[in-house]
Amino acid sequence: MNVPLVIPYVDHREEEIVLDVLRSGWFAHGPRNKEFEADWAKKFGVKHAISMNSCASTLHVAIQASGITGEVILPSFTFVASANAIITAGASPVFADIDPKTGNIDPKSIESLITDKTEAIMPVHWAGQVADMTAIMAIAQKYSLKVIEDSAETIGGTHHGKLGGTWGIGCYSFYQGKNMTTAEGGMFTTDDDVVAEKARIIMGHGISKTTLDRHEGKAQPWIRSAVMSGYNFRMSNLHAAIGVVQLSKLDEMNSKRQANSEYYFQGLKDVEGVQLPYIEEGNQHVWQMFTIQVSKDKRDDLVNYLRDQGIGASVHFDPPVHLMKPYMNVKGADNLPVTNEVYKRLMTLPMFPHLTREQMDFVIEHIKKFMNV
């Protein structure tokens, strides 16, 4: 049996809307972007939603549009894009440790790293669970810090009823393994009018009007005058069209992920040597990934064994960012005891909405076999 790590959940609805865009002749950033952004803003209760070509781009824009040039505290236990965005936008990363139970940034570690150079906190909501935003926002308010949420892995997850990505500036990923996908893409959200205006200019070559805006405005649509140096971080009309459909299915897909996670819990709860995920009280987990922990001496062998059986097991994240060459000397990199322990024990099991019980039984059976249960 073949059990992939992830398969996007698409059907005729995505096919039909993509064909509609292809037939329209408008492929670049256009009408479907506006629709996608409006739908997102409504569903997530934010004032501004801006579609971009990746979550990495949204993170970069969040730093630059916020005028951040000092230190940004984030976990090292994340994908390298989080730290890359801070560097490329002209700020400095500082690594905090994580909570050993949730894998999310530890608020106590954050506060211990704050200096007069600190300007922002970048919590990374890991694997489908929102970080402790109650504590993080209290710290941010205490020290007058900005908050940029890397919510790439937690689209639809909540902390005490409030959605991840809506506490500060929200940055989301639509890569194919996420809770919803546009193949590649990201969404930037904020309630700040000034930050939103800057973000739109930065992501569109430094030009204040998009091609669609100029086209719809009719008057001299060929005028493309930049007001600052910028980038091309735009999402295409094709990708946005997929996003429109995927967003309409988000609750359904997350519900299926939650049902699948419960099945894994039931199947693995009595397996000695397997530590199951921890859900913080007050959180709604949306299971972008389903991870387990085993002993360091068994982790790699178990991952390889499952892969040999046709099961798409993986590891997120090994190595953590502070062990990568460009980031070894970053402030905080020498004091991450929990991160240094957890990353050696964690592994990721297949998780996607239409994962079948038969496939999960196959995964559970082989974990038990390896663990001699």
Cite the active site residues. 178
As a whole number of Å, the CA-based R_g of the chain is 21
Q: Report the amino acid identity of residue 41.
A: A
Helix ranges (DSSP H) in 176-286? 193-203, 211-217, 237-248, 250-268
DSSP 187: E
Within 10 angstroms of residue 133's Cβ, the number of other Cβ atoms is: 26
DSSP 327: G
Tokens for 106? 């530890």
DSSP 277: P
Strand-pairing partners, residue 263, are none
Question: Which residues have C-beta within 8 Å of that of residue 12, sequence separation ≥ 6?
Answer: none
Phi first, then psi: what are they for 93, rounded to 5°? -75, 150
Distance of CA 146 to the CA centre of its chain: 19
Query: 75 near 314, Cβ under 8 Å?
Result: no
Distance CA 194, CA 218 (A): 26
Using alpha carbons, list the distances in angstroms from residue 323 to 207, 303, 332, 343. 38, 21, 12, 11
The b/e string for 81-112 (b: 16+ C-beta within 10 A; e otherwise) is bbbbbbbbbebbbbbbbbbeebbbbbbebbbe
- Pairing, β 169-173 against β 158-159: unpaired
Query: 127 near 316, Cβ under 8 Å?
Result: yes
Tokens for 347? 């592994």
Q: Report the amino acid identity of residue 101.
A: K
Task: Report helix, strand or coil for 341.
Answer: helix
- Pick from 124, 61, 111: nearest CA to 90: 61
